[in-house]
Amino acid sequence: MKRTTLLLALICAVMSTSAQSEQFDIKAYGEFIANGYDFFVDNNEPYPISIKINFDLTNLKSKDKNGTVYVIPAHSKRQLTNSLAIINKVKAYKYSYKTFFNKGNHHKTLYDENHIYDLPFKKGEEYLLFQGYNGKQTHQNENSLDFSMPMGTSITAARGGIVTTVIVNNNKTCFKPECKQFNNKITIYHDDGTFADYAHLKFKGSTLKKGTVVKQGELIGYSGNVGYSDGPHLHFVVYRQEIQDRHTIKTKFKIDSGDTVQFLKEKENYKKGY
């Protein structure tokens, strides 16, 4: 019979790029083998997880160096990460460890730079982009967009993908960074490995569930003024996630009738006619 050491179960982490806590349904565990331990990870999430396990070893030798990042595919079981071998079997051996993890593929640096996004609202509507990429108010060094729109405006998926996060149970608002922890948001995972956040949704502003597949243009929720916000709007950002950093991405949108494609500019109004 194998001896199993449970390392992590239903891990809760604070994302390095956000004040919000996000739970990951993953489990990492070690199994004793003839000459040491094998370490496995189960990932029950509908997207890949990146994990790093750093060991402090006594009389054990690690197959991989500390700092190695392993990518665990979505919905996968018993993914072998690292192995520890006993150096001298007549001496005592032990280990301790620290883990670091986040959603997405840490190693995936390429993405579809040419994908054309839909404006994230319904056909026939028009809204002001009051803060754009690297905006002076709250978007310094970040490629995010803020659309000014009334409370309860229908939000549609700018790009299709898998819903990875739905947080709509907050109702507190303040214009201070500490209120980021109260941001209501939906996160969608795209087929090129990027994610998109739709933030500041209204209280109970979506009925989507994690794992739902949504199509481009599909209704996903309703805008609000919750979290780190000074007025009703939609915060939209696309990014590539690493374990400790995220890299935000400028995206091109169809505007007007859909024949024109461009990067959006701050203080311009944009109409969706398609």
Report whether 155 contacts 163 (CB < 8 A).
no
77-94 pLDDT, tens digit per residue, is 999 999 999 999 999 999
Using pLDDT thresholds of 50, 70 and 90, give the confidence band for residue 141: confident
Report residue 58 as tokens.
């006594």
Residues 22 and 77 in one domain: yes
pLDDT at 188: 98
Residues 78 and 209 in one domain: no
Residues 26 and 134 in one domain: no
pLDDT at 180: 83
Residues 264 and 141 in one domain: yes
Residues 95 and 138 in one domain: no
Query: Backbone dihedral region of 152: left (phi > 0), alpha (psi from -120 to 50 degrees) or beta?
Result: left
- Residue 128, in any domain of the structure: yes
Q: Which residue has the higher pLDDT, 13 or 21?
A: 21
Q: How many domains does the chain have?
A: 2
Q: Which of 103, 132, 148 is the last residue of a domain?
A: 103
Could you tell me the pTM of the whole model? 0.88
Q: What is the mean pLDDT of the chain?
A: 90
Residues 88 and 145 in one domain: no
Check whether 23 has a pLDDT greater than 50.
yes
- Residue 111, in any domain of the structure: no
Check whether 196 has a pLDDT greater than 80.
yes
Residues 23 and 86 in one domain: yes
Report residue 37 as tokens.
């331990």
76-86 and 21-33: which strand pairing?
Answer: unpaired
Q: Which residue has the higher pLDDT, 24 or 194?
A: 194
219-222 and 161-167: which strand pairing?
Answer: unpaired
220-273 pLDDT, tens digit per residue, is 999 999 988 989 999 999 999 999 899 999 999 999 999 999 999 999 999 999
Using pLDDT thresholds of 50, 70 and 90, give the confidence band for residue 17: very low
Using pLDDT thresholds of 50, 70 and 90, give the confidence band for residue 179: confident
Report whether 24 contacts 11 (CB < 8 A).
yes
pLDDT at 21: 55
Can you tell me the distance from the alpha carbon of 175 to that of 165, in angstroms, rounded to the nearest whole number?
23
Report whether 221 contacts 236 (CB < 8 A).
no
Residues 161 and 62 in one domain: no
Location of structure tokens 């590539």: 240
Residue type, 75: H
108-130 pLDDT, tens digit per residue, is 999 999 999 999 999 999 999 99
Residues 196 and 121 in one domain: yes
Phi and psi, residue 73, nearest 5°? -60, 160
Q: Which of 103, 138, 160 is the last residue of a domain?
A: 103
Can you tell me the distance from the alpha carbon of 84 to that of 52, in angstroms, rounded to the nearest whole number?
15
Q: Which of 63, 82, 103 is the last residue of a domain?
A: 103
Q: Which residues pair with 28 in a beta bridge?
A: 8, 41
Domain span holding position 92: 4-103
Nearest to 120 by CA among 246, 267, 222, 205: 222
CATH of the domain at 53: 2.60.40
